Amino acid sequence: MNFNKQTLEAIKASNEELFNVDKTIKGYQQNINSEEAKIAKSKKQIISYKKSIEIEQTLKNYPSSGQGSVFFYNSMMSKFDVFSEIHLNKISRYFNYVEKIEEEYKHLYTKATNEYYKNPEDPAILMLYKTYEHLVESYKILFILVSEVDRDKLLYHKVYNQVEDQGIFLTASEKLALRHLDEISKKLSQIVTELQVMISTTNQMLNQTLNAIGMVEDNIDSLSSDIAYMDYTISDVQTEIWGLSTK
């Protein structure tokens, strides 16, 4: 088939036009892909921002530090003579352990509050929540050990024995030898679960006591000395343990 010069030029022009159209379409497609990527990035940023706001609201409910070990230590010292030397020695190891949890909690809180806006997925945030629960469980055990040693001795020994049976009173070298530290958190949770009924009962008794005190105006001092073994109110306990402001 023979093509004249005019026909060849027309075919060439058509090819160039098709090439330019294809190039234009590819350019449009690249622009579309770029815009879709921007939209996806924006959606991700919005989700991250919303999550950061949620975390910020949650962190407002968390204390910046735990100071329960100091509070319970002072309370325990006021009953120093009530504890046997063996029990005192073993419980002191538990205090050391709780202090380490408090240090870790403070570190995680600082990291979480600094990182949550930039990276709401930071592992420190989730670890903070878990460490807080762990610390609360530890404080519950300390509360029973300190408050019931000269009150409900049966409850005291139940808690003490359960803690001891779980190996939490082991020395540092014993824990290291048995690779025991990683198991302590789980064992503390198990202890607290087993003690929920007793703790609930104790809390009910405390609430009943506080209600009774509120109803008796003429003899509140003598009642307080009989049933409030430590000189604090519930709000005082929160302040001492978590360092919260009473204002």
Tens of pLDDT, residue by residue over 190-226, are 777 776 666 566 556 555 544 544 444 444 344 344 4
Binned average pLDDT, 10 residues per bin, the chain of 247 residues: 66 76 81 82 81 90 91 90 92 89 94 90 92 90 91 90 82 62 68 67 56 45 42 53 54
* One domain, residues 142 and 216: yes
pLDDT at res. 172: 65
pLDDT tens readout for residues 58-86: 999 999 999 899 999 999 999 989 999 99
How many domains does the structure of the chain reveal?
2
Put simply, whether the predicted model's pTM sits higher than 0.85 gets the answer no
**Within-domain flag for 31:** yes
**Within-domain flag for 52:** yes
* One domain, residues 21 and 108: no
**Within-domain flag for 219:** yes
* One domain, residues 130 and 10: no
Q: Which residue has the tokens 């049976």?
A: 165
pLDDT at res. 227: 38
* One domain, residues 147 and 51: no
CA 122 – CA 172 distance, rounded (Å): 31
pLDDT at res. 176: 61
* One domain, residues 18 and 76: no
* One domain, residues 21 and 70: no
**Within-domain flag for 247:** no
Domain membership of residue 41 as a residue range: 1-61
* One domain, residues 231 and 150: yes
pLDDT at res. 222: 44
* One domain, residues 41 and 113: no
